[in-house]
Structure 1
């Protein structure tokens, strides 16, 4: 077992999750975005799409390209992405500002169509995804696991609905980032901020029966 603590001092001297020191741009992402609850459908679709693009790569690579990804994919408005045709796909394959992986590009376009259906069924994507929220009492010790039963259940349900590049590890990373679990380590200065944001957060209601 490693004796390395799971936290490190940030630029202000305050303790933060160790991973945010891996690159200079990570601290701002860690402090302002990662783990805070999100109920915006566009942001949820964007993050799940970017997690798919990250598969086999580093988050630093994706984060550096995020603004270009947003321009290329119409701000991840899934209603627009769902209408992308072969010509638009080919243009994306030639776009050096994104990850030019045919399977991942086609998956995002395909998933956008599934997202339109999911939104129509549940009212919002947020209402669907938040059915799989991980209760703090059920969460593993922060950053000690790569997936969770709720992530496995979500991945299985998404695959049943036809989504692609949504394995349990990818889905769990999405849940960590979008606040469906507070996975900041106990010593992290941001953990309490996330906990308070989650306490204030009004969980979107789905038209469907909640996951047991």
Structure 2
């Protein structure tokens, strides 16, 4: 039996999550927790790609809509999509209606499957950190970088494999969200827990 993770408004948190309850809940329960499911890693990479140029809370508030519009982020299904599905999604007010990002999701599903799917994608991504989260141990938000040599390398490797909307900054944010980097500030109540 696991101990429940405390989520209360007055707990010390990373500065970026502010005071909005949906953001605090995401921070406390998901962000930085190591993600070992390859399909979920892929979904989170796609959502981080949709975030480009926007704030994460925008994506977070629309995440359920994204999951419905993209049929549960099933890569095998999405990989077969074409112009009719792109046009349908461009009319969906519940998501970010950006043609390039929608088309990149289809391309990224194909690239993900070409790599071998969930287990292969998980193994490839976690191999970059030897299957152990890197620990930033940052004291202030201003110390936390927006990219790194490792996120740059992963970005290059993903692009070489056919992925799009996966630049070094997107990959870095994704690595933080998926727990490959533990970038909870040392003062945050989640730092030692993840």
Cα distance in 1, alignment partners of residues 96 and 152 from structure 2: 26
1:22-68 alpha-carbon deviations (Å, 9 max, x no partner): 53311100010000001112211111101111111111111110001
Q: Give me the whole-angstrom Cα distance separating, in 2, the residues matched to 1:13 and 1:22.
A: 9
Equivalent-residue separation in structure 2 for 1:180 and 1:165 (angstroms): 19
Q: CA deviation at 1:124?
A: 2.4
Structure 1 position 31 matched with structure 2 position 28: yes
Partner of 1:159: 159
Mapped to 2, the partners of 1:115 and 1:136 lie a distance apart of 22
Residues 137/80 of structure 1: CA separation in 2 closer, same or farther (3 Å cut): closer
Matched, 1:169 2:169: yes
Question: Which blocks of at least 5 consecutive residues in structure 2 are unaligned?
Answer: 1-6
The equivalent residue for 2:122 is: 126
Q: Distance in 1 between matches of 2:12 and 2:116?
A: 39
SS of 2:13 mapped into structure 1: strand
Whether contact under 8 Å (2:34, 2:133) holds in the other structure is: no
Residue in structure 2 matched with residue 180 of structure 1 by the alignment = 180
RMSD between superposed Cα atoms in Å: 2.0
Residue-pair matches, total: 184
Tell me what 2:70 maps to. 73
1:106 has 2:103 as partner: yes
Distance in 2 of aligned mates of 1:11 and 1:137: 27
SS of residue paired to 1:99: coil
Residue among 133, 138, 141 paired with 2:138 = 141
| Residue-by-residue CA offset, 1:110-158 (whole Å, 9 max, x unaligned) | 11000001125x9421101111228667747364211111111100111
Q: TM-score, normalised by structure 1?
A: 0.80
Q: For 1:70 and 1:12, locate their aligned partners in 2 and report how far apart those are by CA, in whole Å.
A: 28
Q: Distance in 2 between matches of 1:70 and 1:103?
A: 18
Q: Could you list the runs of 4 or more consecutive aligned residues of structure 1 that deviate by over 6 angstroms after TM superposition?
A: 134-138
CA distance change for structure 1 residues 107 and 188 in 2, over 3 Å: closer, same or farther? same
CA–CA separation in structure 2 for the residues paired with 1:149 and 1:36:
22
Please tell me whether the aligned partners of residues 32 and 182 of structure 2 are also in contact (alpha carbons under 8 angstroms): yes
Which residue of structure 2 aligns with residue 41 of structure 1? 38
Distance 1:79 1:16, change over 3 A: same
Query: Distance between the aligned counterparts of 2:17 and 2:62, measured in 1?
Result: 18
